[in-house]
Amino acid sequence: MGKKERFFYEITSLNPEVTGSCHLVTVHYPDARITNFAVDFGSYQEELYNELNAEKLPFECDKIQFVLITHNHADHMGRLPYLIKGGYKGKIFCTQETAQLMPFALKDSYKIEHENAQRDSRKPLYDETDLEETISRITPCKFGEVEYLDRNIKATFYMNGHLYGASMILLQISFPGEEDINLLFTGDYKPENQLFEVTDMPSWVYKLPMVVVTESTYGYMDTTEVIYHMEDDIEKAIKEGKTILISVFAQGRAQEVLYLLKSMQYFRRLSTKIPIWLDGRLAQEYTRLYRSSEMLLKFNKADFIPENFGYVNQENREAVLQSKEQQIILCTSGMLDHGPAKIYLESFVERRDVLIYIPGYTSPKTLGYRLQNPVNGFVTINGKKLVMRAQVETTKECSSHAKADEIIEFLKRFKHLILVLINHGQKEVKEKFAERVQKEVINAKRVEILGEHTFRISPYGYIKQMGSKIIFLKSNKKEEEDKKKTKIHKKEKNDKHNKKLPKFTKRVCYSYN
Ligand SMILES: [Zn+2]
Ligand SMILES: [Zn+2]
């Protein structure tokens, strides 16, 4: 093997489309050492891939040395307890802000998982001890400060407008006498945010020979195609005497929509007499946290709560549901599949005086998606076939993802883009977006799509596609030899009890050696 190939890494992604974000990286050093790490460890939210959440992890969890989390969304961190249960021994690195928020999301995922397990009469994927262990491994990092993960790998978290606490992660991997490997994970990316200022990465980062792993959720459209009509829609519906139900993600969207309503009140486009409610325990917890956030207070945007606002819980939900008064209700979940959303929808979809507003992405097959595409005028909720009478509107203006032109603008800032890896998008979107990046980002030497293949990449950008999806994390050879020695020793003692277990599940049992 030539010098250029002695130091390289392999990268693969577990997510086939948008949710279930997880990148696995294996670094091979010239001295035969190997380091495995993961960036994000999310759960699948598309119904199509739901069963993958319960599937045995296609690698040995104890071979992963560390995990980095870009932000606090379930599709980027929801499966962490499952990884811990599987034997992962390392730390979970994320920003200080994400570290503060993540325990809430993990506890919520735990609750949902246990409810689902009970409903499906199966064993939950992990228990409370795994949850507590996961929380105890969270290791907060400061934005912009270098974190040494081991003697060869350093990570830096940079601000990202996608969400409060969200980051892009720069990994710099070095070995004496070799070129550095620089790898940037955008996570879910947005250049700015309504609630806080986003500080840019320092200019030297843009000068590094770089491989960028980017998302592409909205890779099919440009910012110029976004039409801002949510305020008009709300104003119109209120004039028509309608009650408005707005689906929100617990963190980010809920607070941003409250901010929008507050600004409508300020400009007298919305009467302060209309009560505004927020339902969803997690959304309420995040809202309280945001209100006391140092980062948000620093930028003087923490006051996002409109007038005549209240929280809905079990005690007052029935009264809100039965109220004849016109009102605006924000409820979780964002795709309307979980949380209190279904309770409202069961009685609201058949009401002509209701506007259901979905201000964000909904995966195919989720209830949010089905409401936008009713079959012959019907929609099924909790097994009940209901006539779709309510008005359903959606907008892309609140999206917390960059559009194609914004990502391209971002990529163009890199002086020496060795490779762009496109991920986190629907299959066709990834393909189209990849073509566009190839055409428009002149500095990008090469563009590839992640999701179906593993790529072997050298610091110089030499890239090789490793056939189909390979998720075979190797461990340090020396360590392995030591293990073998102790194993042989044990084997002699206890041969009868040794059962040969299959190493990998069938679906992903591929090897390339
Ligand atoms: Zn996200
Ligand atoms: Zn995401």
Are 296 and 259 a contacting pair, CB within 8 Å? Answer: no
How far away, in angstroms, is 166 Cα from ligand 2 center? 11
Are 418 and 445 a contacting pair, CB within 8 Å? Answer: yes
Question: Counting ligands in written order, which one lies closest to the CA of residue 162?
Answer: 1
pLDDT confidence of residue 133: 98
pTM of this structure: 0.84
| Reported confidence tier of residue 477, pLDDT bands at 50, 70, 90 | low
Question: Counting ligands in written order, which one lies closest to the CA of residue 334?
Answer: 1
pLDDT confidence of residue 407: 98
How far away, in angstroms, is 482 Cα from ligand 1 center? 41
How far away, in angstroms, is 275 Cα from ligand 2 center? 32
How far away, in angstroms, is 73 Cα from ligand 2 center? 7
Which residues, 6 or more positions from 86, have their beta carbon under 8 angstroms from its beta carbon? Answer: 57, 60, 61, 62
Question: Counting ligands in written order, which one lies closest to the CA of residue 71?
Answer: 1
pLDDT confidence of residue 323: 94
Query: According to CATH, where is 3.40.50.10890 located in the chain?
Result: 228-394
Can you identify the CATH homologous superfamily of domain 3-220+403-486+504-508? Ribonuclease Z/Hydroxyacylglutathione hydrolase-like (3.60.15.10)
- φ, ψ of residue 409 in degrees (nearest 5): -55, -45
- φ, ψ of residue 307 in degrees (nearest 5): -75, 160
How far away, in angstroms, is 497 Cα from ligand 1 center? 46
Question: Counting ligands in written order, which one lies closest to the CA of residue 43?
Answer: 2
Least confident of 162-166, 355-359, 422-426: 422-426
pLDDT confidence of residue 482: 55
Token code pair at residue 369:
């998606």
How far away, in angstroms, is 504 Cα from ligand 1 center? 30
**Overall CATH class of domain 228-394:** alpha beta
Helix (H) and strand (E) counts in the chain: 16, 23
- Taking all residues of the chain, what is their mean pLDDT, rounded to a whole number? 87
How far away, in angstroms, is 82 Cα from ligand 2 center? 19
Average pLDDT on 189-213 reads: 95
| Reported confidence tier of residue 509, pLDDT bands at 50, 70, 90 | very low
Question: Counting ligands in written order, which one lies closest to the CA of residue 21?
Answer: 2
How far away, in angstroms, is 77 Cα from ligand 1 center? 10
Query: According to CATH, where is 3.60.15.10 located in the chain?
Result: 3-220+403-486+504-508
Are 396 and 205 a contacting pair, CB within 8 Å? Answer: no
